[in-house]
Structure 1
Amino acid sequence: MLSNPKSPRVKRVAALARKKERRESGRFMVEGPQAVRELLAYRPRLAEVVYATMGNEPWQHEVDRLASDAGVQLERVTPEVLAAMAETVTPQGVLAVARTWETPLAEAFDGAKLIAILHEVRDPGNAGTVLRAADAAGADAVVFAGESIDPFHPKVVRSTTGSLFHLPVVVCVTLEEATAAAREAGVVTLAADVRGAELLEARAEGVLAGSVAWVFGNEANGLSEADRALADRTLKLPIYGAAESLNLATAASVLLYETAFSQRA
């Protein structure tokens, strides 16, 4: 059992909370039983080691079995060691180290019906929630464009609750590259912005029923005029009450599901 919270090995895992370390090592941390289960179930080849405390938690047997089935090293650690490794203040007893991956842009758009493009999205909770909503809505991929947050940031990984491992993820591309790939694949790009045309009109025209890539902009500034010009159309959600607007994650969830409904009608 690994019991020294100050050991070099523990420090190397803890360092993965930093973007620089993730990029240089090509690895990231996955915290919590739900996320670790999904990693082992959907992307076992990426998992390198699972660190878990000893106990009778409901998830323990399943995580142990999945790690064994995948041939992934399982290390028992003390709660103090796990706390020193984890990014969270109160870790849930299990953490994994996995290799990062990237899906080629053209591959993500090939045959796609629904794509979410995050442009300059900085908040990890928003990014993770949009990715989770994209997964739930049956999207084919999520693209992190521009200076968007790293999808392997620990807070993003946690907020996806495992959805990160269900979808192709594209990183380190410009919005121009993403929209060009969409056009090449015959996918219509729709910019979500309050300065756009009414969503219901586009829905009535059947725009949402085809192959669609939604572009979601920065939480504070939205999409610039130049950003919107890269999309085929700019659309806005109607506001029926007195709210000034919806936050990014909520609006994205509604738009992704609205498109999924139209495509399945």
Structure 2
Amino acid sequence: MLENPRTPRVRAVAKLAKREARKDTGLYLLEGPQAVREALTYRPDTLVEVYATPTALERHQDIRTLLTDEGIEAEFVTETVLDAMADTVTPQGFVAVARQNPTALKDIFAAEPKLIAICEEVRDPGNLGTIIRAADAAGADAVILTGRTVDPYNPKVVRSTTGSLFHLPVSVGAELEDVIERAHGAGLTVIAADVKGDDLLEARADGALANPTAWLFGNEAHGLEDEALQLVDRALRLPIFGRAESLNLATAASVCLYESAFAHRA
């Protein structure tokens, strides 16, 4: 059992909370039973190390079974060691290290997607994680991150996806112009979510949302640049029926993705 929180091994795990360490190693941090369970279920090949307290492993017999099935042995640690490793205050008995597994852009479009989310300079980890989770829930085929969008392997992003990071392809580091060109080549209509766009209800009425669609979401503070808007087929805004000044980006993205999901299944 690991008991000393000051060992190089513990410090190496803790460093993965920093982007530089993730970039250098190609690894990232998973925290809590939900993340570990989803990784074991959907991407066990990416797991490098699993750490758990004896109490947590006893409590989560399903995780113990998954570990056994995959031939992975969890390393027992004390609560103090686990706290030193984790980015969050309450890792709930589990921390794991996994290999980053972004999907190549060409593979996403080779799969003939019908619904994807493109995030251009989304900077808030919670927003990005929620968009990935919403895309998963809406049945999207992929999420593509462009510009200076936050690292999807940031611990806050990973936590806010609640496991959806393992459910659908996520591409990183692409140039927006290239993504939109590939989307058009794959037969997708590219729609920007933008406050200066047309009313989304008009698009719903004319059937435009039933087409294969790539939704483009911009920065929380200043939205999408004019250059980006010139590349898309259409810009749409969500109507505000009450007195709210605006909608949070992740909330708006969730509505847009579900509008397409409903239209595709109508």
- Matching residue's letter, 2:146: A
1:243 partnered with 2:244: yes
CA distance in 2, matches of 1:105, 1:57: 38
- Matching residue's letter, 1:83: D
Given that 1:28 and 1:98 are in contact with CA atoms closer than 8 Å, whether structure 2 keeps it comes out as yes
> Please, what TM-score do these two structures have when normalized by structure 2?
0.97
Measure how far apart 1:57 and its partner are: 6.5
Closer, same or farther: CA 59–251 of 1 in aligned 2, 3 Å: farther
Measure how far apart 1:167 and its partner are: 0.6
Measure how far apart 1:73 and its partner are: 3.1
- Matching residue's letter, 1:81: V
Task: Show the counterpart of 1:77.
Answer: 77
Secondary structure of the 1:73 match is: coil
The worse-fitting range, judged by mean Cα deviation, of 135-144 and 47-56 is 47-56
Task: Show the counterpart of 1:229.
Answer: 230
Could you report, residue by residue, the CA deviation over 1:53-82 in whole angstroms, capped at 9, with x for unpaired residues? 111577521112111211223101000000
Which residues of 2 match residues 95-110 of structure 1 at below 5 A? 95-110=95-110
Task: Show the counterpart of 2:180.
Answer: 179
Secondary structure of the 2:54 match is: coil
Measure how far apart 1:181 and its partner are: 1.2
Structure 1 unaligned residues grouped into runs of 5+: none
- Matching residue's letter, 1:258: E
Q: What is the aligned residue count?
A: 265
**Two-structure CA RMSD over aligned residues (Å):** 1.1
CA distance in 1, matches of 2:123, 2:62: 34
- Matching residue's letter, 1:16: L
Closer, same or farther: CA 147–52 of 1 in aligned 2, 3 Å: same
Measure how far apart 1:15 and its partner are: 0.5
Measure how far apart 1:10 and its partner are: 0.2
> Please, what TM-score do these two structures have when normalized by structure 1?
0.97
Task: Show the counterpart of 2:16.
Answer: 16
CA distance in 2, matches of 1:21, 1:151: 14
Given that 1:121 and 1:218 are in contact with CA atoms closer than 8 Å, whether structure 2 keeps it comes out as yes
Secondary structure of the 1:143 match is: strand
Task: Show the counterpart of 1:112.
Answer: 113
Task: Show the counterpart of 2:153.
Answer: 152
- Matching residue's letter, 2:90: T
Closer, same or farther: CA 109–59 of 1 in aligned 2, 3 Å: farther
- Matching residue's letter, 2:85: M
Could you report, residue by residue, the CA deviation over 1:176-221 in whole angstroms, capped at 9, with x for unpaired residues? 1111110111111100000001111112221110100100000001
Task: Show the counterpart of 2:32.
Answer: 32
Task: Show the counterpart of 1:52.
Answer: 52
CA distance in 2, matches of 1:196, 1:173: 25
User: What is the percent sequence identity of the aligned residues?
Assistant: 58
CA distance in 1, matches of 2:216, 2:128: 13
CA distance in 1, matches of 2:58, 2:183: 44
The worse-fitting range, judged by mean Cα deviation, of 49-58 and 236-245 is 49-58
Task: Show the counterpart of 2:138.
Answer: 137
Given that 1:121 and 1:127 are in contact with CA atoms closer than 8 Å, whether structure 2 keeps it comes out as yes
Closer, same or farther: CA 93–56 of 1 in aligned 2, 3 Å: closer
1:63 partnered with 2:101: no
Given that 2:56 and 2:93 are in contact with CA atoms closer than 8 Å, whether structure 1 keeps it comes out as no
CA distance in 2, matches of 1:55, 1:260: 41
CA distance in 2, matches of 1:90, 1:41: 22
Structure 1 runs of 4+ off > 4 angstroms? 56-59
Task: Show the counterpart of 2:122.
Answer: 121
